[in-house]
Amino acid sequence: MLIRSDQGFNHRANSDITPAHVYARRREFVQQLAALACLAGSGQGLAQTVQRPGKLAALNSVVSALPGAQTADTPTPYKNASTYNNFYEFGTDKSDPAQNAHSLKTQGWSVEIEGLVKKPGRLHLEDLLKLSAMEERIYRMRCVEGWSMVIPWVGYSLSELIKKVEPLGSAKYVEFITLADPKTMPYVGSRILSWPYTEGLRLDEAMHPLTMLSFGMYGEVLPNQNGAPVRLTVPWKYGFKSGKSIVKIRFTENQPATAWNKAAAHEYGFYSNVNPNVDHPRWSQASERRIGDGGILAKKVKTLMFNGYEAQVGQLYAGLDLTKNF
């Protein structure tokens, strides 16, 4: 209805070199995809499969000129960014999402807008894709476990959507609800978290130009394991704040409960700004390792305040005690 699956929105996992039994399974899967492409695809589609198994449809975009939207850091290799993921709906190991997320169905996707807005309703993916011009932004991304990546995202500022739906004056927060489908997400229903996965931002954080609705990365539509078909990207916060596979956006007056804060409030605060001076109860946040730069043997680098975006977002937290509001 919205996007034909044979044009790339049938998101597939990408292969990577991992333990032998996992690699064998992925190699077999890729070979099956190549065979299907021979049977059903055009010459162009087959060439793409041969050049890069699992290659997804391109998204046209321009390089963003927004301050902070580009970094001189070398982007993480695509194979690492698409096979080393946190997406607990598909498993708790970093390699699980790439193995399991092929079951996610993205055809006919829509996002419901609810709460304190003048224009609530349902926006289909087709409408979201047309809402604003696509930009490529290369963001540093930092996870609370101590690893980081540099990823070229494709999308636009969430503020474009927020302006369209016109929040009421009483709206102070934005809540993001993600898909929780036990039929396609094998770990939904596990006792690890409360489902569906929810996240939230203050309205001014959500309106900040660096906060993105992302539909792609590395010039292609998002792989399932990275949050297809639409996700949040907030580069100055720890990665779990950037909800994947969003199905509902709700505007509220009160601070929404969030998944990890409900699971362990003493470890995961509502703000979750990257802050090297506030340690996680079980490990330091002062340094990090970049995925793709040697794995666990990679040299640690210093973690930057607000993940290096202090000049752009620091004013949002003026006067706020970031050791209490972590």
Tell me how far the alpha carbon of residue 49 is from its chain's centroid.
24
The per-residue pLDDT for range 94-104, each reduced to its tens digit, is 999 999 999 99
| Model pLDDT for residues 48-64, shown as the tens digit of each residue | 322 333 679 999 999 99
Q: Structural domain of residue 258, as residue ranges?
A: 58-90+100-317
pLDDT above 50: residue 167: yes
Domain-located, residue 195? yes
Between residues 146 and 51, the one the model is more confident about = 146
How many angstroms separate the most distant Cα atoms in the chain?
62
Measure the CA–CA gap between 228 and 106, rounded to whole angstroms. Answer: 7
How much is the pTM?
Answer: 0.83
pLDDT computed for residue 184 by the predictor: 96
Looking at residue 296, its pLDDT comes to 67
Q: For the chain, where are the E strands, in sequence order?
A: 62-63, 110-115, 121-124, 135-142, 147-157, 173-178, 198-202, 212-217, 220-221, 231-233, 246-252, 287-290, 301-302
Q: CB-based contacts of 104: which residues, under 8 Å, 6+ apart? A: 11, 90, 179, 184, 185, 224, 228, 245
Q: Evaluate whether residue 31 is within a structural domain.
A: no
Does the residue 312 lie in any domain?
yes
233, part of any domain: yes
What's the CA gap between 148 and 289, in Å, rounded?
6
Q: Read off the pLDDT of residues 256-298 as tens digits, 9 standing for 90 and up.
A: 999 999 999 999 999 999 999 999 999 999 999 999 877 667 7
| Residue 10 placed within a domain | no
Domains identified in the chain, total number: 1
State residue 170's pLDDT score: 98
CATH number at residue 304: 3.90.420.10
218 within a domain of the structure (yes/no): yes
User: For residue 196, what are its two tokens?
Assistant: 């569906």
Percent pLDDT > 90 in the chain is 81
Instruction: For residue 180, tell me if it sits in a domain.
Output: yes
